[in-house]
Structure 1
Amino acid sequence: MKGNIPQETTTFVGRTSELALLESVLAQDRLITLTGAGGVGKTRLALRAAAGDGFRFPDGVWWADLSTLDSSGLLLATVSDAVGLADHSPMMPVEALCEWLADRRLLLVLDSCEHLVDACATLVADVLTAAPGVTVLATSRRPLASRMERLVEVLPLPAAGPDAITLFSERVSGRLGRQPLAEPGAAEAAGSICRRLEGIPLAIELAAAQVGPSLVTEVAEQLGSRFDLLSRSDFVWPRRHQALRTAIGWSHELCAPLERLLWARLSVFRGAFDLAAAQAVTAGAPLGADDVAAALERLVAQSVVRRTATASGDRYRMLDTIREYGHTWLRELGEDTAVAHRHAEHFTGVARWADAAWVGSDQLVGYRKVEDAHPDLRAALDHLLAHDPAGAAELAGLLVYFWTCCGHLKEARGCLERVLDVHTAAGPARTRALIGLGATVTLQGDYATATAISAEVRAAVEAGGDDAEERIGAACLTGLLGMLTGQSQQALDSVREALGAAPGRPFDSPDRLRCNLVEVLSLTGLGAFAEGRSRALELREQCVRVGELWTRSYLDYQLSIVALFSAEPTEAVAYARTMLESKRLLGDAFGIALGLDLLAAAMAAAGRPEQAAAVYGTGEAYWRSVGHPQRGAPELQPVRERCERTVRAALGDAGYTAAYARGATADGPSTLAALVADEAGTE
């Protein structure tokens, strides 16, 4: 099944009637909102229903987690990312999303809408109007109040029923590896616990986490002795659901003082985090770094924090309701601003490391670090915009390569414009942000705005003195703009002048490396194939030696084009494949679209018309995901048109249409992986 549904990490218990109801309403209604109190199980029910009914939606089930957002500013970017839209166009974000969804039949799940109800309602109305094949399943503590909305209230599990006791038992046995209800009196005690907690799944899971240090009967007694006291207290928790408040408050009471402090400080994280991040952000008197590690393990054991094993190591996260409780305590302690500062400092450090790693063997590691930290980098930027505009400008500048090279142009433009609005003081941070904005709008095809920004950048560089790196950054922007508007000579002159005025190695900085790349691209655009190929091979060899991927991928692109023009289709296919492998690893949808067009042209030239037509179809799907018709350097368009004519002539119109449709409707990532693996690339 197509989509990005999160993987379930624990067993699913009960909800048979609710799932049957959802199966029915998903077949009839287009907006279904699961409502209910925090901790009642809305997200798990939505996850199970979406997975079970995914077969109804040929274009998949796509999950957008809105819990990481503090405001509606990045709602569209989050939903666009979730459905695979890496829009590079200058269209308004909502228009681009609606156009992308217009002819699709898919299920869009919006999880945790309660703090963005108005914005979600507006977005859903736009989407459902523009895209008749889209169904939206939302989870929210509050209805979206849409006229199309079908409300499904999610109630607790029947407190006296078997499902609540089964949930308690399975969570205990999942941790301890033994059946807890075999102890004398345990079954009756478990029933008592579930009744006191009114069948609320999160509350039951928190209680189950106390079994181990205590027997089930002891947990029941401890809960009973605290229930009245905690349920009468309004301290740090609004009156919503008494049993859940009691369970969370009880878990909090059972924590040691340092564990409570860590719980509060961890609430600053918006997404998943690792131990190193937790130590960097939360350590501070009286909580040492070693204390953080030990306390974090204890919070995991109590189900306050969830741990997930990933390829890069363990990552941790708190559920929304528990994070909210912790953040209330953080405010009570008067530490919320200080911890937010530390959080912003840490993630600015992550961005600095990733930016420096962009020109070396850690480029892919840096990309993945930034991708994993994306929700917290957004939160850090929001904090800095409010408290430290210069810091916000620095962070935004550090994220430019991630944003522009890996498919986040809409977010880049919005964030950089906000930064430049608040950080008006001249200096390197503002200049770098301007260069980043210029590159962003250039890649969106908004050349008029890009030209104006390029002029502003040149003026800022001249006013700023003799900063070689700023000049190289400005030249890189001028070169990129010239190259994409058919002014290859201007692009070549710009980057050569800047590099000549400040000699250095290509890998001394990201902008310097990009200038070297623009030089190669411009030579090919001018038809200087021999010189372009020589420079491309020289720079590519250096990229291979240091393990750099992004620049190498565009050098492979150029070498493939040169091979095509030189009637070397086998070589063109090989270079196109190695380009696509790098782009796939970096999540660069724009580069993937370019590479697929090039691979199709090379296959056509190699006498493989049916494969070429299918690859053109797959490429079209990626071009749609970036919001452009086929684009790129102008010199490729005639190649594409000529190869399409060749393929049509070989297959006939019907054969071409059938092969093209196969590629266009196939699963993009799977098809891409197969194309890359089909034949060894050059090295």
Structure 2
Amino acid sequence: MTTSFVGRESELAAVKTALTRYRTVTLTGGGGVGKSRLALRAAEEVRERYADGVWWVDLSNLYDDRLFTATVCDAVDLLDHNPRAPVEALCEWLTGRDILLVFDCCERVLSSCHLLISELLAAAPKLTVLTTSRQPLEVKSEHRIEVSPLSTDDGDTGNGTADAVRLFRERCATAAPGVSLDAPGSAEVISDICHRLEGIPLAVELACARLRDTSLTEIAERLASRLDTLVDETVWPRRHRALRTAIGWSHELCSPLERLLWARLSVFRGPLEAADAEAVCAGGPLEADDIPPLLDRLVDRSVLQQTGTRYRMLDTLCEYGAMWLAELGEEDVLVRRHAAHFATVLSESEAGWLSDRQVSWYARISASHSDVRAALDHLIEVDPDAAVEMAGRTGLFWPCCGHLHESRDYLERALALDTPKGPSHTRALWALGITLTLQGDHRSALRIGEECAAAAHADGTPQSELFAAHTLGLTHLMAGRPQDAYDVCDHALIAHGTSPPSGAPQLCCMVIRVFAHSALGRLSEAYEAAIALRRLSVRYGEHWARSYAFHQLAFIDLLQGRANDAERHARAMLACKHNLNDNLGIALALDLLTGANAVQGNGIAAARTSGTGNTFWRMLGHPNHGTPELSEVRDEWELQARKAVGDDAYEKAFRNALNHDAEYSLALVMHGPLPS
């Protein structure tokens, strides 16, 4: 989101004051009027008031109330690993915290916002909520601030220049730096344009984007001629006529292929890559090779925003594109293409998991999260076989990145469909089994694991047998049955393992076997197996299994008094897990690094890593850490660290790390103190 800010001084002051008096403040107003930008600026300026931070919840990509609570959890970095309801986890996470939550675009899921925000406010007395919405939320004691268009008359501001005119000039300097706005008569024309656009910021920005190929006078004349020839007012209410005019005119002045791409892009739910647009939007007169330059032209016209290699469309412009997509009669075909494309993306990511592209595939799936969900929702409705196959493929990615509630929901919905048994069904059972285990629901996980094993036996494929062994092995290991974990995975690896390895499930079973060795006290075997696993992982360039090899090396190093080696291996694990965005793995690595620092007498470093680790465990819903078998030795590490530097110094470093933003504290741990 752009943070450029023109005008709004009085509104900004009103929002900041309201946040000191009310627990819920809602910014209302029409599309394109600048609610989100005002909320963002207000949140930035009051950040220091809130000891536990300001969190931004973007609801603009939501299309289903089912995903609402999960979206809020993701936004506040709450990746709860418990089977409890997400609302319960959110309430617990917020209780006692001094936080500002900003909900943007609440009109997408208005009733859900009302219910959740009401519940959160009751559970968390220190919580303050700022929302943007085209309609009030009707939350108890809600204070509403209407966000009006920018001033268009010079006399309405204290600086002698209307805010809409200031915005116009600023945007023109960016969109068309070669165009002079100082010619005789230009000021009057600019003022006239801003009047016709009623001071609506988005409308002004769209008009500015035309200055590269249209003169000021032509813009003013075209706007005047269009005000009486607008699109259907049942779709675009009369009070939005200026915005309709600006969007409609921008649409009209786009080339036919630009208009077609604009309409087709409306099917996406989140930021997209050029390759996504090529796969989904090409067809008919629109060739795939045409799409990259067309994307750039839509950026120039302010229809799209670009960040790095990804593109996104503002909600209001996306609505307009969707309207034209319906007019073209292409909705159904584009939704099918979209679902098929992201099913293919998941298939390719699974195939590329055991490779040097593994990290990039994790980033790809994470960045496409909203679209993967939308694709799955569509397939569950219309293509059960494809839904089961796609849902199973999320098992390598969603549980690792903390999306356990969504993983369970989609997998249970997919497995409830009437589909034939086979490898795809077995893989979906595996994905559900590991999700349940990571949530701590070991009884259900064991039941699903046994069902997966029976299905794998019926499939008769090595991959299915390895998937089944992994989910059963993980459940046994996490439930404190290391011998059972070892036996099931060792048997599967002997019977079905290959050299080179056949894919992800084989490495997953190898990880379980290493951990089981260690849990059984067979440290020499565990160390040797971990070294072999690390060597294998390095050969293929993958990071997931390698990170767990480093975990075991660090753990055994600590048990056997090699603190320097333990620190090196714990840092290597931390780097791998950070690359994968695996917060559970990050928390585990921080525990080991804390121990290595404490044993070496680095008390301040141990305090920092412990405080940072606590932050990540809280995000995961495990305030007492997720590895209870280390509780005794963890207490011993803390005593060593406190003895090395003194209680006061330890406590200060611990609290500083605990109270900082998680990523900031993690950066300090990984790279040392940041320059001041």
TM bin, normalised by shorter chain, reads over 0.9
Cα distance in 1, alignment partners of residues 237 and 421 from structure 2: 46
Give yes or no for the alignment of 1:529 onto 2:526: no
Is the Cα contact below 8 Å between 1:529 and 1:562 reproduced in 2? yes
Give yes or no for the alignment of 1:342 onto 2:337: yes
Corresponding residue for 1:616?
610
Structure 2 letter corresponding to 1:129: A
- Structure 1 residues 423 and 511 mapped into 2: Cα distance closer, same or farther (>3 Å)? farther
Matches within 5 A, 1:58-457: 58-161=51-154, 162-178=162-178, 180-230=180-230, 233-234=232-233, 237-308=236-307, 310=308, 314-457=309-452
Which whole-Å deviations, capped at 9, do the CAs of 1:459-482 have from their partners, x for residues lacking one? 2223x3311111100000111011
Give yes or no for the alignment of 1:486 onto 2:489: no
Structure 2 letter corresponding to 1:599: L
Structure 2 letter corresponding to 1:199: G
Cα distance in 2, alignment partners of residues 222 and 522 from structure 1: 73
Cα distance in 2, alignment partners of residues 484 and 638 from structure 1: 18
- Structure 1 residues 647 and 397 mapped into 2: Cα distance closer, same or farther (>3 Å)? same
Cα distance in 2, alignment partners of residues 554 and 307 from structure 1: 37
Structure 1 letter corresponding to 2:268: F
Is the Cα contact below 8 Å between 1:486 and 1:634 reproduced in 2? no
Structure 2 letter corresponding to 1:616: S
Which whole-Å deviations, capped at 9, do the CAs of 1:75-102 have from their partners, x for residues lacking one? 1111111111111111210111111111
- Structure 1 residues 125 and 235 mapped into 2: Cα distance closer, same or farther (>3 Å)? closer
Is the Cα contact below 8 Å between 2:594 and 2:610 reproduced in 1? yes
Corresponding residue for 1:579?
573
Structure 1 letter corresponding to 2:138: A
- Structure 1 residues 640 and 506 mapped into 2: Cα distance closer, same or farther (>3 Å)? farther
Is the Cα contact below 8 Å between 2:179 and 2:211 reproduced in 1? no
Q: Secondary structure at the match of 1:109?
A: strand
Is the Cα contact below 8 Å between 1:230 and 1:250 reproduced in 2? no
Give yes or no for the alignment of 1:40 onto 2:33: yes
Cα distance in 2, alignment partners of residues 632 and 361 from structure 1: 30
1:632 Cα deviation after fit: 4.8
- Which stretch shifts more, 424-433 or 594-603? 424-433
Is the Cα contact below 8 Å between 1:484 and 1:632 reproduced in 2? no
Cα distance in 2, alignment partners of residues 371 and 92 from structure 1: 23
Which whole-Å deviations, capped at 9, do the CAs of 1:521-572 have from their partners, x for residues lacking one? 1101111111110110111012123221121111111001111111111111
Corresponding residue for 2:506?
512
Which whole-Å deviations, capped at 9, do the CAs of 1:547-605 have from their partners, x for residues lacking one? 21121111111001111111111111111111111112222111111111111122222
Q: Secondary structure at the match of 2:210?
A: coil
1:326 Cα deviation after fit: 0.8
Give yes or no for the alignment of 1:589 onto 2:583: yes
Which whole-Å deviations, capped at 9, do the CAs of 1:31-61 have from their partners, x for residues lacking one? 1111111111111111111111111112221
Cα distance in 2, alignment partners of residues 7 and 515 from structure 1: 46
Structure 1 letter corresponding to 2:46: D
Is the Cα contact below 8 Å between 2:614 and 2:625 reproduced in 1? no
1:355 Cα deviation after fit: 1.8
- Structure 1 residues 483 and 41 mapped into 2: Cα distance closer, same or farther (>3 Å)? same
Which whole-Å deviations, capped at 9, do the CAs of 1:177-233 have from their partners, x for residues lacking one? 1454213322211111111111111111111111121110111011111221126x4
Corresponding residue for 2:158?
none
Give yes or no for the alignment of 1:604 onto 2:598: yes
Matches within 5 A, 1:545-584: 545-584=539-578
Cα distance in 2, alignment partners of residues 204 and 567 from structure 1: 67
Structure 2 letter corresponding to 1:441: L
Is the Cα contact below 8 Å between 1:236 and 1:325 reproduced in 2? no
Is the Cα contact below 8 Å between 1:159 and 1:197 reproduced in 2? no
Cα distance in 2, alignment partners of residues 177 and 50 from structure 1: 31
1:7 Cα deviation after fit: 5.6
Is the Cα contact below 8 Å between 2:209 and 2:302 reproduced in 1? yes
Is the Cα contact below 8 Å between 1:192 and 1:220 reproduced in 2? yes
Corresponding residue for 2:665?
671
Structure 2 letter corresponding to 1:546: Y
- Which stretch shifts more, 577-586 or 438-447? 577-586
Cα distance in 2, alignment partners of residues 678 and 242 from structure 1: 55
- Which stretch shifts more, 210-219 or 640-649? 640-649
Structure 1 letter corresponding to 2:549: L
- Which stretch shifts more, 293-302 or 478-487? 293-302
Cα distance in 2, alignment partners of residues 170 and 641 from structure 1: 58
Give yes or no for the alignment of 1:643 onto 2:627: no
- Please, which of 34, 37, 55 is the counterpart of residue 48 of structure 2? 55
Q: Please provide the CA RMSD for this pair.
A: 1.9
Is the Cα contact below 8 Å between 1:121 and 1:145 reproduced in 2? yes
Query: What TM-score do you get using the length of structure 1 for normalisation?
Result: 0.94
Structure 1 letter corresponding to 2:285: P
Q: Secondary structure at the match of 1:403?
A: coil
Q: Secondary structure at the match of 2:188?
A: helix
Q: Secondary structure at the match of 1:508?
A: coil
Query: What TM-score do you get using the length of structure 2 for normalisation?
Result: 0.95
Is the Cα contact below 8 Å between 1:393 and 1:423 reproduced in 2? no
- Structure 1 residues 106 and 178 mapped into 2: Cα distance closer, same or farther (>3 Å)? farther
Is the Cα contact below 8 Å between 2:608 and 2:669 reproduced in 1? no
Structure 2 letter corresponding to 1:337: D
Is the Cα contact below 8 Å between 2:385 and 2:419 reproduced in 1? no
Q: Percent of counterpart pairs with the same letter? A: 48
Is the Cα contact below 8 Å between 1:360 and 1:507 reproduced in 2? no
Cα distance in 1, alignment partners of residues 461 and 201 from structure 2: 60
1:665 Cα deviation after fit: 2.0
Is the Cα contact below 8 Å between 2:476 and 2:484 reproduced in 1? yes
- Structure 1 residues 651 and 211 mapped into 2: Cα distance closer, same or farther (>3 Å)? closer
Cα distance in 1, alignment partners of residues 636 and 611 from structure 2: 16
- Which stretch shifts more, 323-332 or 292-301? 292-301
- Which stretch shifts more, 604-613 or 354-363? 604-613
Cα distance in 2, alignment partners of residues 505 and 63 from structure 1: 48
1:138 Cα deviation after fit: 0.7
1:651 Cα deviation after fit: 5.9
Structure 2 letter corresponding to 1:623: W
Cα distance in 2, alignment partners of residues 195 and 110 from structure 1: 31
Which whole-Å deviations, capped at 9, do the CAs of 1:230-269 have from their partners, x for residues lacking one? 26x4486455512211221122222222222111111001
Cα distance in 2, alignment partners of residues 438 and 86 from structure 1: 18
